[in-house]
Amino acid sequence: MNKPISLFRGDSSDLVSVRPNLKEPTETISSDWICRTMLVDSSGVEIIASRIENVKSEDGLTFIISLSPADTLAITVGVDQKYTTVDWVVQLSNDQLVPAYSKEKRLKILVREQAIIA
């Protein structure tokens, strides 16, 4: 299991590289491949609607994704909570393949409220 990503509201995430496990490690990702991401809360409610990610690494081997400050600001942390846990849903698909390829991965994000500790 992957370690959760910890962020403060209003921060951006580190860049994350993703690629389909179907392809050879040295095979570039063609324009037939689609990478979609979205954020959902623990009830499955969308916080950030599904969107297509187009940024690829210079060598074309991976999609590069990240969360922006606006994305993390959209996440609400309850007054009594240390953090809120959300899922960063990443889906890779290619409808041109037979059979069509579609796989989803969920990355846990722990979002904390910004504060001053004295």
pLDDT digits (tens, 9 = 90+) for 15-66: 999 999 877 778 899 999 999 999 999 899 999 999 999 999 999 999 999 9
Task: Kindly state whether residue 117 falls inside one of the protein's structural domains.
Answer: no
Model confidence pTM above 0.95: no
Q: Which domain holds residue 99?
A: 5-112
Split into its structural domains, the chain has a count of 1
Average pLDDT over residues 90-106: 94
Q: From CA 60, how far away is CA 27, in angstroms rounded?
A: 8
78: pLDDT confidence band, cut at 50, 70 and 90?
confident
- CA 113 to chain centroid: 20
Q: Please give the pLDDT value at position 1.
A: 52
CB 104 within 8 A of CB 88: no
Task: Kindly state whether residue 118 falls inside one of the protein's structural domains.
Answer: no
- Reduce the secondary structure of 43-68 to three states and give it as a string: CCCEEEEEEEECCECCCCCCEEECCC
